[in-house]
């Protein structure tokens, strides 16, 4: 690279990130080097730094898996990406194993996750496999009033709930309940609405509830002020008033908290689908037999297959999913302060860290 390359590296659990200069290796066959435009700060990154969640690659490691940027170098076989604006999928499957060939890329055992298996995007540059990158049309980006850094969050915060909504079979006439209207849940609510569902949003932050009420949620409920036992009958009354079914609700647990998971479990109805999207190290006790009694199902959601990224991005560029009200950019050099604020829950929007020009 002609320009200086830097990365902010996690050297020990719960320690500040350390800035390091480095020389990116030339890309090998099938690889590319991406000049990072922006990298979103995810709840999972907080788990690695503060909560003892272990990375697959031993420390030191550069975190960050919500990455957008421009390809500035390409190895043999990946030349078509040179000069293109791209989103780097948060989970990069190998594409050639039995699981990948059978359409099960999200559980590929050879997958690479930036900031977990390989160095991530809290850096000026990142070297990644070229397979599965999502191209971004600069003209459509400009028409949508967005920057390349803005769409970094598509890499996880948008595409993970996109896969969850698709997998759950959400469509017109459905009642979708989203618990936790944060960096992922806000997009889950918008995507479910775009798929035709009537959306109920549950959170403990009045400001977030008010915002999502303007972007797709038909009913917002504050779990801090509403008795937990009153949530289900309140939603049932709302469903009746809207002519919606009292069965087959789809519940998206996006808070990544024990309280959110308990709430999600308490909302099971006959034929319900529980989609677990958020992650927590906390444990809860539950009666698993409720799945049997309600003839319900529970689905995990790990990442999103790269082939679904263009359709998810289309929702953003077509204005059906709004990013701007839910994101804010910060200089990458402020990474330690931004992480501290995110951990203290003082950020109102998902942070995107932008390297110095």
Are 272 and 168 contacting, i.e. CB atoms less than 8 angstroms apart?
no
Domain chopping of the chain, boundaries = 5-156+304-354, 159-300
Q: 39: burial class by Cβ within 10 Å (0-12, 13-18, 19+)? A: buried
> Does the predicted TM-score (pTM) go above 0.85?
yes
Sequential DSSP letters for 132-175: T-EE--HHHHHHTT--TTGGGGGGTTTHHHHHHHHHHT--TT-E
216-226 residue pLDDT tens: 999 999 999 99
Rg (C-alpha) for the chain, rounded Å, is 20
Q: What is the pLDDT of residue 357?
A: 80
Three-state SS at 279:
coil
User: Phi first, then psi: what are they for 263, rounded to 5°?
Assistant: -65, -45
Q: What is the pLDDT of residue 3?
A: 57
291-325 residue pLDDT tens: 999 999 999 999 999 999 999 999 999 999 999 99
d(CA 33, CA 72): 6
Q: Cβ atoms within 10 A of the Cβ of 348, count?
A: 12
Place of tokens 């170098």: 73
Q: Cβ atoms within 10 A of the Cβ of 193, count?
A: 22
Residue of 258, 267, 264 whose CA lies nearest to 285: 258
Pairing relationship of beta strands 297-300 and 273-276 according to DSSP bridges: parallel
Beta bridge partners of 176: 199, 250
Q: What is the pLDDT of residue 318?
A: 98
Q: What is the pLDDT of residue 329?
A: 98
Three-state SS at 110:
coil
Beta bridge partners of 302: none
Are 203 and 223 contacting, i.e. CB atoms less than 8 angstroms apart?
yes
Q: What is the pLDDT of residue 294?
A: 98
Measured over the CA atoms of residue 145, residue 150, residue 151 and residue 153, the dihedral's sign is negative
Q: What is the pLDDT of residue 45?
A: 95
Three-state SS at 81:
helix
d(CA 49, CA 63): 9
Q: What is the pLDDT of residue 22?
A: 87
Which residues, including other chains, have CB under 8 Å from residue 132's CB and lie 6 or more apart?
89, 92, 93, 95, 306, 307, 309
Q: What is the CATH number of domain 159-300?
A: 3.40.50.720
**Topology annotation, domain 5-156+304-354:** Quinone Oxidoreductase; Chain A, domain 1 (3.90.180)
Place of tokens 């804010």: 328
Are 42 and 25 contacting, i.e. CB atoms less than 8 angstroms apart?
no
Mean pLDDT of each 10-residue bin along the chain, 357 residues long: 80 93 89 97 94 94 98 97 98 96 95 97 96 97 98 98 98 98 95 98 96 97 92 98 98 96 97 96 95 98 96 98 97 98 93 94
Q: What is the pLDDT of residue 174?
A: 98
Q: What is the pLDDT of residue 23?
A: 82
């Amino acid at each position: 690279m002609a320009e200086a390359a830097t990365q902010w590296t996690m050297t020990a659990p719960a320690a500040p990130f350390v800035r390091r200069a480095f020389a990116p290796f030339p890309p090998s066959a099938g690889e590319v080097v991406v000049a990072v435009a922006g990298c979103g700060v995810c709840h999972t990154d907080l788990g690695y730094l503060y909560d003892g969640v272990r990375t697959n690659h031993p420390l030191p490691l550069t975190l960050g898996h919500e990455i957008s940027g421009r390809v500035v170098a390409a190895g043999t076989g990946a030349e078509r990406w040179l000069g293109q604006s791209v989103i780097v999928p948060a989970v990069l499957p190998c594409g050639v194993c039995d699981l990948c060939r059978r359409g099960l890329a999200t559980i590929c055992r050879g997958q690479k996750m930036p900031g977990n298996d390989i160095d991530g995007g809290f850096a000026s540059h990142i070297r990644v496999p070229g397979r599965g990158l999502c191209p971004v049309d600069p003209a459509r980006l400009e028409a949508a009033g967005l920057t390349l850094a803005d769409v970094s969050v598509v890499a996880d915060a948008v595409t993970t709930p996109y896969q969850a909504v698709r997998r759950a079979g959400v469509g017109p006439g459905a009642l979708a309940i989203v618990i936790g209207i944060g960096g992922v849940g806000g997009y889950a609510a918008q995507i479910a609405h775009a798929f035709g569902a009537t959306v109920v949003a549950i959170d403990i932050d009045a400001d977030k509830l008010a915002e999502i009420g303007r972007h797709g949620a038909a009913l917002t409920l504050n779990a801090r002020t509403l008795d937990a036992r009153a949530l289900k009958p309140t939603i049932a009354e709302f469903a009746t008033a809207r002519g919606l079914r009292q069965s087959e609700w789809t519940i998206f647990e996006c808070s990544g908290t024990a309280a959110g998971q308990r709430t999600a479990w308490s909302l099971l109805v006959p034929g319900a689908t529980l989609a677990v999207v958020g992650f927590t190290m906390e444990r809860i006790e539950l009666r698993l037999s409720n799945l049997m009694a309600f003839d319900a199902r529970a689905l995990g959601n790990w990442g999103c297959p790269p082939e679904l990224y263009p359709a998810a991005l289309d929702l953003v560029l077509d204005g059906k999913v709004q990013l701007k009200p839910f994101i804010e950019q910060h200089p990458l050099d402020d990474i330690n302060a931004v992480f501290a604020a995110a951990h203290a829950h003082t950020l109102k929007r998902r942070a995107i860290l932008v390297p110095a020009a």
